[in-house]
Amino acid sequence: MTTNRMTLTLPEDSRLRQPEFLYGVATASFQIEGAAETRQPSIWDRFCATPGKIRDGSNGLQACEHVRYWREDVALIESLGVDAYRLSVSWGRLLNADGSINESGAQFYLDLMDELNRKGIRVFVTLYHWDLPQHLEDKGGWLNRDTAYQFRDYADKASRLFGSRVYAYATLNEPFCSAYLGYEIGIHAPGKAKRSYGRQAAHNLLLAHGLAMSVLRKNCPDGLHGIVLNFTPCYPLSSSPADKAAARYADDYFNQWFIRPLFTGEYPAILSSLEEADRPHIEPGDMAIIAEPLDYLGVNYYTREIYRASPDAPFETVQLDNVERTDIGWEVCPEAFTELLCSLHKKYPLPPIYITENGAATADEPVGERVADEQRIRYYQSHLNAVHKAIEAGVDIRGYFAWSLMDNFEWAEGYLKRFGIVYVDYPTQKRIIKDSGLAYRDAIVWRSHK
Ligand code: FCB
C-alpha cells in the first residue's frame, strides 16, 4: 500500500521563502569519499582499524564511493533543486606528506567544483572536517602547536588552487568535537583522553582557525570566510539555583568555550576554575589571532542536553523520559534551536549566520523505490519553523543546509545511523531519494511561486 507523501511547508511571509535565502545539503570528505588508497591515511583510518572503536567495526575505505560516483552525486544534488553544496576537503587527499600538492586529489576537487559551478550550485568548502593526516598526528596532532601552522599552509595552498570556485570557506567544522571527543574523552579519533589534552587541542584548533582566516582573506578577497561551530544548548533539570549553575557551567565548558574567544578574545571565566595543569598553554598574541573578524558564522544544531548539580563534579547529565528522540537517541527539541540562535545574537556581535548542519537520524528501510521517512520530515519542518522564529526575533540567518545529502559513515556509529535525505544501499551504492529529500526539494523549488 502506498501512502501520500508528507510535505514540508515554509512559513508564510518568511525570509525562508525568499530566493536569496540559500538552501543546501552538506557532507564531509571522510564520511562519503572512499578511495582511501589515493590519499594520505588520516586519524580516522587509524581509529577505525583499532578494535572496539566503531560500533559496527566498519571504516571509511569505501564509504559512499563518492570519488568514483561524484558526477552522479552532483546530478543528484542538482535534482534536489538546492542553491548550495557544503563539502569538505580532505587535507590528506589535497596534500602529500611533504606538503606538495597531490595532483590527482587536486584534480578531483577542481572537477567537482567546476561541475557544481556549471550547474549554478554555490560551493561551501570546509577545510577541516576531522580527518587530520596521520603523519601529523604522529608528531602530536592537535596537541602540537605546529599543527596550527601546518593548517595555515594547507589553507593557503587550497585557497590558491581553488580560486574563485569557492563561494564560502569554513576553516574548521565543530572544533568542540575534534578537541573534546577526540582528545579529552577519546570516543573519536585519535582516541586520546585527558582533560589537559582536550583543552590544549581546542586552543590549537582555534589558533589554526585564526591563522587560516587571514590567509583566506588574502587569497580570496571576494569569498566569505568563517568557521562552523556546533551547539548543544544546556538546560537545567529544575529551576533550583544549583541546577541552573550546573547548566551554566556545562554551557561554558562545551559551547561558549569555542565561540566566546572568537568574539571577545577571551575564554569563559571558568578557565580559572580548572586545575593549573589542565589549562591550555596560550602564547602572547594568540587570542588576537583567534578573534580575527568573521564574514559569517556556521551553526550546527541537532539537540539539547539537560544538567543537574552534582556533589562530585561541576555538573551531571540527565536523560529525560517521555521525550521524542531520533534513532541516535538525541532529543527532538526545536524550541532550543530558536533559543540558541536568539541567545547567541544577544551575547555576541555576530556576523550573518548560516545553519550549516541540521537533521535527524532515522532507521530507514526502503520499500521498493520508496523511503517514507516521516519523522525526518517532521524534524525538518519543526526546525525550519524554529529558524523562522529566530529570524523574526532579529537574528540574521542567510541559509540552511540539511545534514546530510546522503547516508554516510557516521563516525563512531559506523554505518548504523542514517542521516541522509537520500538513502544509500552500501553494497550496490544505489541512491534513492527519500520522501524527506522530495519534500525538501518541493519546498525549495516552489518557495518563490507560492
Ligand atoms: C555533526 C558532524 C557531522 C555528522 C553529524 C550527524 O557533529 O559535523 O559530520 O556526523 O554530526
The model carries a pTM of: 0.98
Give distance in angstroms: CA of 51 to centre of ligand 1.
Answer: 22
Q: Is the CB of 419 under 6 A from ligand 1?
A: yes
User: Which among 86, 93, 221, 92 has a CA at the least distance from the CA of 160?
Assistant: 221
CA distance 114 to 179: 33
Does residue 1 have a pLDDT over 80?
Answer: no
The ligand 1 atom nearest the CA atom of 361: 6
What is the predicted pLDDT for the residue at 386?
99
Instruction: Give the pLDDT confidence of 399-429 residue by residue, as tens digits.
Output: 999 999 999 999 999 999 999 999 999 999 9
Instruction: Give the pLDDT confidence of 174-195 residue by residue, as tens digits.
Output: 999 999 999 999 999 999 999 9
Does residue 364 have a pLDDT over 60?
Answer: yes
Q: Is the CB of 408 under 6 A from ligand 1?
A: no
The ligand 1 atom nearest the CA atom of 410: 10
Does residue 31 have a pLDDT over 70?
Answer: yes
Does residue 159 have a pLDDT over 90?
Answer: yes
Instruction: Give the pLDDT confidence of 43-60 residue by residue, as tens digits.
Output: 999 999 999 999 999 999
Residue 244 — very low, low, confident or very high, per pLDDT cuts 50/70/90? very high
Give distance in angstroms: CA of 27 to centre of ligand 1.
Answer: 9
Average pLDDT on 382-392 reads: 98
What is the predicted pLDDT for the residue at 247?
98
CA distance 169 to 152: 13
Q: Which listed CATH number (3.20.20.80, 3.20.19.10, 3.40.50.720, 3.30.365.10) goes with 15-445?
A: 3.20.20.80
For the chain, what are the domain ranges?
A: 15-445
What is the predicted pLDDT for the residue at 171?
99
Q: Is the CB of 176 under 6 A from ligand 1?
A: no
Q: Is the CB of 131 under 6 A from ligand 1?
A: no
What is the predicted pLDDT for the residue at 438?
98
Residue 3 — very low, low, confident or very high, per pLDDT cuts 50/70/90? confident
Give distance in angstroms: CA of 409 to centre of ligand 1.
Answer: 10
Residue positions annotated with a catalytic role? 174, 357
Mean pLDDT estimate for the chain: 98
Does residue 2 have a pLDDT over 80?
Answer: no
The ligand 1 atom nearest the CA atom of 328: 6
Q: Is the CB of 171 under 6 A from ligand 1?
A: no
What is the predicted pLDDT for the residue at 449?
66
What is the predicted pLDDT for the residue at 345?
98
Give distance in angstroms: CA of 404 to centre of ligand 1.
Answer: 9
Residue of 410, 413, 415, 417 with the most ligand 1 atoms within 8 Å of its CB, for mutation: 410
Distances (CA, A) of 445 to 42, 82, 174, 374, 442: 38, 8, 30, 20, 5
Instruction: Give the pLDDT confidence of 204-242 residue by residue, as tens digits.
Output: 999 999 999 999 999 999 999 999 999 999 999 999 999
Instruction: Give the pLDDT confidence of 106-138 residue by residue, as tens digits.
Output: 999 999 999 999 999 999 999 999 999 999 999
CA distance 177 to 28: 14
Instruction: Give the pLDDT confidence of 306-346 residue by residue, as tens digits.
Output: 999 999 999 999 999 999 999 999 999 999 999 999 999 99
The ligand 1 atom nearest the CA atom of 359: 6
What is the predicted pLDDT for the residue at 447?
87
What is the predicted pLDDT for the residue at 19?
95
Of all residues in the chain, what percent carry a pLDDT higher than 90? Answer: 98
